[in-house]
Amino acid sequence: MKITATRRNFVLGSAAAAGALGLVGPRAFAAEPLKVGFVYVGPIGDFGWTHGHDQGRKAIEAHFGDKVKTTFVENVAEGPDAERVIRQLASSGHGLVFSTSFGFMNPTLRVAKQFPKVKFEHATGYQTAPNLSVYNARFHEGRVVCGTIAGHVTKSGVVGYIGSFPIPEVVMGINAFTLAARKIRPDIKVKVVWANSWYDPGKEGDGAKALVDQGADIMCQHTDSPAPLQVAETRGIHGFGQASDMKAFAPNAQLTAILDVWDGYYIQRTQDVLDDTWKSQSIWWGLKEGMVKMAPYGPAVPENVRQEADAARDGIISGARHPFIGPIKDQKGVLRVAEGEILSEKEIATMDWYVEGVEA
């Protein structure tokens, strides 16, 4: 079911919730399905970020069948509108609400305080409450695998990178990629173009064209549409898919893709609510936990490179390799992380500097 968040629905929803609370109580009937709500920042058809979360929602439905009912609201603007939508979900009998964008953090926190019995899960934030968990994925681990492949495949030594906004999440990805690529080939340069949008296919594609014209033969992106990869395909260079397997758009160009896999986490948290074992937590999962996965390698990745990429992935999973292990120099050549030292989670999560080789 899709909810259109209009004032009328909101009023009806509130009335229904008030009735339910006053008369029967939401948990009075064991047979009543648990209602799980999702708040999305983009359209489910973006083939990227929101699409990935919606796959997770569908996985819940497939896994629990009649025991669970899911709803979603898409294209919710970050800000006051989000609070209204989240409150509407909370007040219309939802027992578990996932809000899936960084900008939903404060609205989710406020609504969580008003509805202590409803469980909230917020993606990519850092604020928790007794009934509010946060979860995030270490996408930058996938960038290590990408960087390893790029270091081998590039001929020009110039990598183009379409960024959305210069926030830590994106910066750490650029850095993890660059470090891994320069480990293979130390002269690699990573040129970053900011689209200043998470989703503008036209601009992402134009940025990619600009980078190809400046000599890039590998295209990376931290935006949500397949446009940059599509440019890679038409210009005969290579690149990496973002958030979902984009090989349909770039059968030759896609080397691999970083996949966001929320299914396992969403199913587990829904199960926790059903079992009444849900507890507030803050998790940051990666390749090891399966929240980040790599798509099958494309035809342009030679066998020996596949093995190295596998080794990089396995190293991260086993803990033998860390994306941010010293020595790491910044853009100006100043040593930021000493030999053998590993950046802490907090230092990674607040990263606001670029490693050597990044041109941003």
Amino acid at 101: S
Instruction: Note whether 207 binds other proteins by CB under 8 A.
Output: yes
Instruction: Note whether 227 binds other proteins by CB under 8 A.
Output: yes
DSSP state, residue 164: S
Q: How far is CA 58 from CA 44, 207, 284, 346, in A?
A: 12, 33, 22, 32
What part of residues 41-100 is at the interface with other proteins (CB under 8 A)?
Answer: 42-43, 45-47, 51, 75
CA distance 109 to 129: 7
319 within 8 A of 142, measured Cβ to Cβ: no
Q: How far is CA 232 from CA 72, 142, 156, 216, 299, in A?
A: 33, 20, 14, 10, 14
Instruction: Note whether 225 binds other proteins by CB under 8 A.
Output: yes
267 within 8 A of 67, measured Cβ to Cβ: no
Which of 10, 102, 194, 284 binds other proteins (CB under 8 A)? It is: 194
Beta-bridge mates of residue 254? 239
Closest to other proteins by CB, 94 vs 238, is 238
Instruction: Note whether 6 binds other proteins by CB under 8 A.
Output: no
DSSP state, residue 294: E
Instruction: Note whether 234 binds other proteins by CB under 8 A.
Output: yes
From the DSSP assignment, how many helices (H) and strands (E) are in the chain? 11, 15
Instruction: Note whether 206 binds other proteins by CB under 8 A.
Output: yes
User: In sequence order, what DSSP letters do the residues of 102-126 get, joined into one string?
Assistant: GGGHHHHHHHHHH-TTSEEEEES--
Instruction: Note whether 36 binds other proteins by CB under 8 A.
Output: no
Interface stretch with other proteins, choices 127-135, 143-151, 224-232, 279-287 (CB under 8 A): 224-232
Instruction: Note whether 291 binds other proteins by CB under 8 A.
Output: no
CA distance 146 to 255: 8
Which of 240, 249, 262, 266 binds other proteins (CB under 8 A)? It is: 249
In whole angstroms, the minimum distance from the beta carbon of 225 to other proteins comes to: 6
Closest to other proteins by CB, 101 vs 108, is 101
Interface stretch with other proteins, choices 85-93, 208-216, 257-265, 312-320 (CB under 8 A): 208-216
Instruction: Note whether 230 binds other proteins by CB under 8 A.
Output: yes
Region of residue 356 (phi > 0: left; psi between -120 and 50: alpha; otherwise: beta): beta
Closest to other proteins by CB, 95 vs 207, is 207
Instruction: Note whether 298 binds other proteins by CB under 8 A.
Output: no
Per-residue contact string for residues 101-140; x = within reach of other proteins by CB under 8 A: ----------------------------------------
In whole angstroms, the minimum distance from the beta carbon of 41 to other proteins comes to: 12
Instruction: Note whether 360 binds other proteins by CB under 8 A.
Output: yes
Which of 147, 151, 201, 298 binds other proteins (CB under 8 A)? It is: 201
Instruction: Note whether 160 binds other proteins by CB under 8 A.
Output: yes
In whole angstroms, the minimum distance from the beta carbon of 205 to other proteins comes to: 5
With CA atoms as reference, report the closest residue to 54 among 237, 297, 262.
262
In whole angstroms, the minimum distance from the beta carbon of 234 to other proteins comes to: 7
Q: How far is CA 97 from CA 33, 103, 109, 175, in A?
A: 14, 15, 12, 33
Closest to other proteins by CB, 95 vs 241, is 241
With CA atoms as reference, report the closest residue to 131 among 139, 140, 122.
122
Which of 79, 130, 202, 296 binds other proteins (CB under 8 A)? It is: 202
Which three-class secondary structure state does DSSP give residue 325? strand
With CA atoms as reference, report the closest residue to 46 among 242, 295, 261, 225.
225
With CA atoms as reference, report the closest residue to 337 among 348, 345, 325.
325
Interface stretch with other proteins, choices 37-45, 143-151, 266-274, 307-315 (CB under 8 A): 37-45
Query: What are the residues binding other proteins (CB under 8 A)?
Result: 42-43, 45-47, 51, 75, 160, 166, 191-194, 196-197, 199-203, 205-207, 209-211, 213-214, 216, 225-227, 230, 234, 244, 246, 248-249, 359-360
